[in-house]
């Protein structure tokens, strides 16, 4: 019976080139920019999810929508956003990991900017509001669907657990 082939060990892993704890390593070159970018993305998603969306029904009522219309609008938007998890998974696998992540970030920012441009006006139609709410829910769902797999993909093995854990914690800020 033959012995299994030895698993090659990268040269850098044997030279002790990085003696920092994995969590501290995340905040030094070459991972600092990546860590800050992904952490900010997680924090921003948390603010959108727990801030903007939590207060959305109240804000829609303040714009003149009645309670039933506001609740129906949000309920319908959630049902439309649900399939985005599967679309994000498919795009992530079939197209591009970074491209999928950036696509959903850009869509989220675009929908938030649209809300900002509309401001506190009640002149926006319910159809426009429904479209923007659906876009925001769908795009933020896409961001969170891709954030952790992308984090796990971009960090090397030595810091993968610490990096992905940090990013997972940043998305739970509230």
pLDDT tens digits for range 111-152? 999 988 887 665 667 788 778 888 988 999 999 999 999 999
pLDDT at site 123: 61
Token pair, residue 64, equals: 């003149």
- Scored b (16 or more CB within 10 A) or e, 49-66 reads beeebeebeeebeebebe
Residue 140 CB burial class (10 angstroms; 0-12, 13-18, ≥19): buried
Tell me the three state secondary structure of residue 12. helix
What is the model's pTM?
0.79
pLDDT tens digits for range 8-57? 444 444 344 456 677 888 998 999 999 999 999 999 999 998 888 788 88
Residue 74 CA, chain-centre distance (Å), reads 20
DSSP 61-128: HHTT--HHHHHHHHHHHHHHHTTHHHHHHHHHHHT-HHHHHHHHHHHHHHHHHHHHHHTT-S-S-HHH
pLDDT tens digits for range 135-144? 988 999 999 9
């Amino acid at each position: 019976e033959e012995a299994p082939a030895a698993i090659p060990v990268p040269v850098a892993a044997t030279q002790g080139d990085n003696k920092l704890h994995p969590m501290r390593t995340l905040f030094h070159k070459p991972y600092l920019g990546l860590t800050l970018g992904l952490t900010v993305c997680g924090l921003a998603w948390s603010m959108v999810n727990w801030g903007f969306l939590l207060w959305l029904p109240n804000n829609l009522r303040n714009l003149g929508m009645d309670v039933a219309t506001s609740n129906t609008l949000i309920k319908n938007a959630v049902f439309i956003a649900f399939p985005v998890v599967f679309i994000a998974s498919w795009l992530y696998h079939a197209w591009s990991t970074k491209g999928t992540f950036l696509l959903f970030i850009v869509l989220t920012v675009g929908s938030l900017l649209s809300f900002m441009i509309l401001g506190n006006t009640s002149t926006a139609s319910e159809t426009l509001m429904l479209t923007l709410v659906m876009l925001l829910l769908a795009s933020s769902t896409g961001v969170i669907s891709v954030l952790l797999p992308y984090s796990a993909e971009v960090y090397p093995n030595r810091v993968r657990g610490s990096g992905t854990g940090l990013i997972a914690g940043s998305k739970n800020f509230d």
